[in-house]
Every structure is written in C-alpha cells, then in structure tokens.
Copies of this chain bind each other. A is one copy, B any other.
Amino acid sequence: MEFEDLIEKQLSAHTLFEGRVINLRVDDVLLPNGKTSSREYVEHRGGAAILAVDDGGYIHLVRQFRYPYREAILEIPAGKLEKGEAPEIAAARELQEETGLVAETVEPYGVIYPSPGYTNERLYIFKASGIAKDVAHPDEDEFLNLVRIPFADALDMVLSGQIKDAKTCFAILKFANERK
C-alpha cells in the first residue's frame, strides 16, 4: 500500500450513536510510531448535489435554514443518498424535489470530502444540462426558497463570502474556471 509511513490501523471500533442522518464512531487506532490514539468521527451515507445553470445563464439555488448554524444559507440543490441509491439518481431526484427542474443530462462534476478529520461523508457533485421546468415537491420537513440568479452574480457571492456552503463554492468556482 502507498504511504505506509502515514497509515493508522484500526484496533477497535465503537458506535456511540446511530441517528437518522449520522452515526458517531470512536475507534482506537495504532499510529505509525507504534503508539495508540483514538479517532472520533461521523459516519454518513454520502450526499449528492447538482449545479444547474440554464441556457439563459441563470443558476438555480435553494435557500434553506441550516440548524447547526442557526442561519438560512444559499446552496445548490442537494441531499443525502437514500439507502442503495446511486449518486446521480439522488442528484436528479433532489433537483426535481427542491426546484421542480428536470435535466436532459446529469454528468459527474467531482467528489469532495467536506471535513476529512472527522467525517467520512463523500459529496458527489453533478452538473445538469438541458434544464426544463416541472413541479417542485420538497420533503415534508424541508422548507426552502428558490433563488434563480445570473451565474456571474453567484460567482461574485462566492468571492465576497456571501455564499459559504463548501459544495456550492466548489461547483461555482469550478464552472467559472471552465468558462474562462
């Protein structure tokens, strides 16, 4: 295996909490220097998110209250994977549920690790094209506002710090990079 000098080996595994969204794990590990330590982290099934810029150059965002920050923030449409659900199916589903948009094509646009020190979540990002309007139907306990703005404005909001969500920053900055 690569990077043998960095590897931490699992000595024991403990699940302290199993929730609807996350599990909490605390494992004992063997460090590269032969000492032991513990690692606290979140188990998460993974999430899917989708960049939707329409033919008019507008990006479709959702504003949602994020309880951990006690703040309503702007994000690209996203959600966690259902059990056994393929990420691209989840991305198209969240786009439809949250914004009422359907896409002709949904292509992979990167996978990011949101905070690798303490969560194993993989965020699968997709890019939609050929977007048409259908009907939105958010989850029962999901409340959101739809926000459709010129892509250039969204990029400005990332650069000025008004858009803070990591996956949204990633998708917008990557798309801006491609267009230059």
Contacts and interface: CB of A to CB of B under 8 A. Distances in A.
Contact of A141 (B3, B31, B117, B174): B31
A110 interface: yes
A166 interface: yes
Q: How large is the interface on A (under 10, 10 to 19, 20 to 34, 35 or more residues)?
A: 35 or more
Given A115-B166, A123-B166, 7 more contacts: A3-B63, A17-B24, A113-B164, A114-B119, A169-B170, A173-B173, A180-B180
Contacts of A42: 22, 42, 68, 118-119
A39 to B, nearest CB: 4
B19 A26 contact: yes
A22 B141 CA distance: 26
Contacts of A159: 174, 177
Interface string A78-114: 0010000000000000000000000000000011111
Interface string A140-173: 0101110000000001001101001111011001
Given A73-B116, A115-B166, A176-B177, A22 B40 contact: yes
Given A65-B6, A68-B120, A118-B44, A166 B80 contact: no
Interface in A111-133: 111-121, 123
A64 to B, nearest CB: 7
Given A72-B3, A120-B69, A20 B8 contact: no
